[in-house]
Chain A
Amino acid sequence: MVEYGGCSSKISPKQLEEILSYLPLPDDPDILVDIDTHDDAGVYRINDELALVLTTDFFPPVCSEPYEFGEIAAANSISDVYAMGGDPVLALNIMMFPASRLPMEAYSDILRGGFDKASEAGVRIIGGHTIDDFPPKYGLAVVGYVNPSAIITNSGAHPGDNLILTKPLGTGVIMAGQRLGMTGDEDVTEAKRLMKLLNKSGADIMKKYHVKGATDITGFGLAGHAYKMAKASDVTINIHLKKVPLIGNTYNLIDEGCIPGASFRNLEFVDEHLHTEPGMDYNLKMVAFDAQTSGGLLISVPPENTEKMINDLHEAGLTSASLIGMVSEKKEKYIYLSN
């Protein structure tokens, strides 16, 4: 199968932000979360106990095995519901597939991967839509439930909070390195394992500690999503990049120049809101902009719960979960990066 992860798969966040600014937002008191706060999903109140979380995401293959691609795409789509504190329930397949150019076996393998991953998350796929297109693209539109009082959003980060990241970074760099024959099998296997890993256990632990602010790290990279969070919460986010867990040889690959185009787009997006420590290690800085596929959760947590939460995450198998920074009162810039 073809692989198209690299430079081409997402619209520049800067362009997107501009386009979205021209769209009128519907005015309805039951819309609890919309794109105004740059959140991962929309939330609509049904009654005082129940709101629906709606989200969709799809992209071209990040790896060459159709089944694995299906699993990764599904885990990535469902992740937005987890990031909002919701329980994913139902989904529809969204598929673009070049029936004349690729074997139909690949088509069914992608769907099977998506189905299995959705089942693992307790999500029922009850339909979908396919059009003929090349390269293939796949993802889900997902509906989840959330209690309106327990929604977790980008705007819930408070000064004094610590920031925990639940998965290591580097999927963009590693998969780009693989396409160029620069990445070892071990790192590719680990990157795929992480991309397939549901953010369910992380989300369960967020709920246990009544977290208010979190997001999942995907295409805009750690710094891009942190910026959205800082802006929505009107705070400054400080990230210590040496503390950010990385997959295998990610740092060395960046050092050799394996920096996917998406990283530069993400850098452009955040640039004017960014303060970089003088003497900042360039490779570490670019780690913060690596576009993640199905990345981990970035959780804003009060100091008293930080250690307990990290222990819980480690016990749940998220052994790389780390304290990577903190939230402060809004300073001149939204994002402060240091070594």
Chain B
Amino acid sequence: MKIVDTKGQLCPAPLIGTRKALRESAEGDSFIVIIDNKTSLDNVKRFLRDNNTLFEVSEKEGIWEVTITKSEAELSNENVEDYCTTGIAHFEKGDFVIAVTSDKMGEGDEELGKLLMVNFIKAVKDLDKLPAKMVFYNRGVTLAVKGSETAKDLDDIEKMGVELLFCATCVNYYKLEKEIETGIQSNMFVIAEALASAGNIVRP
């Protein structure tokens, strides 16, 4: 098995050696990193945990051997719990922003409009490419009121890595400050910037 000996090296050199060896390893390969100071050991462990990399540590007289196995998840840094709740593994984002300006989709019957919006939000999760961002203003913000069907879907979308921006003025206007826990409450500058920098804007 390949051995990376970092004895005598101070932080961050052991971490640099570890990362280099990880890069050079094929999936499933194992290697050993030898570390002789506790700070560097802790930092390497933390790095491996953050990157979902499997490892075991053994100690002999103040020298630690960290056996590392390269796994598929090496370079990502998802919170495992967040990852599991959605059950959706593809998080590719497109160059578009969804602007949700109402709690209804399209003109016409109110009840139908609301139902369509619920379905639209649900459908966003299944898009081949997720939106870069979603912005919510005017009655659009009400879709995130906790307990509602759409709030659950928006939570999932956020966990998939989509930034949800809610117009803070609108949230305050509809007195929903305590009802919305998803996303980021933003001012008009941030919302305008999100819209202005979007490749395309999708308005349901």
Residues of chain A touching chain B, judged by Cβ–Cβ distance below 8 Å, are: 6-7, 159-160, 162, 176, 180, 182, 238, 255-261, 264, 267-268, 276-282, 285, 303, 306-307, 326, 328-329, 331-332, 336, 338-339
Contacts and interface: CB of A to CB of B under 8 A. Distances in A.
Q: How large is the interface on B (under 10, 10 to 19, 20 to 34, 35 or more residues)?
A: 35 or more
Contact of B168 (A7, A176, A277, A328): A328
Interface of B: 10-13, 15-20, 39-40, 42-43, 46-47, 50-51, 75-79, 82-83, 91, 159-161, 163, 168, 177, 181, 184-190
28 contacts: A6-B10, A6-B12, A159-B168, A162-B187, A162-B190, A256-B16, A257-B19, A258-B15, A258-B16, A259-B43, A276-B79, A277-B163, A278-B78, A278-B160, A278-B161, A279-B76, A279-B91, A279-B160, A280-B78, A281-B77, A282-B75, A282-B76, A282-B77, A303-B187, A306-B189, A328-B185, A332-B181, A338-B163
A278 B160 CA distance: 6
Contacts of A328: 168, 184-186
B15 A259 contact: yes
A328 B76 CA distance: 27
Nearest to A180: B13
Contacts of B51: 282
A250 to B, nearest CB: 13
Contacts of B177: 329
A290 to B, nearest CB: 11
A305 to B, nearest CB: 10
B157 to A, nearest CB: 11
Contact of A238 (B12, B76, B184): B184
B204 to A, nearest CB: 23
B187 A279 contact: no
Given A259-B47, A278-B161, A282-B50, A326 B12 contact: no
Nearest to A304: B189
B92 to A, nearest CB: 10
A307 B47 CA distance: 37
A173 B79 CA distance: 25
A153 B46 CA distance: 33
Nearest to A332: B181
A160 B185 CA distance: 8
B11 to A, nearest CB: 4
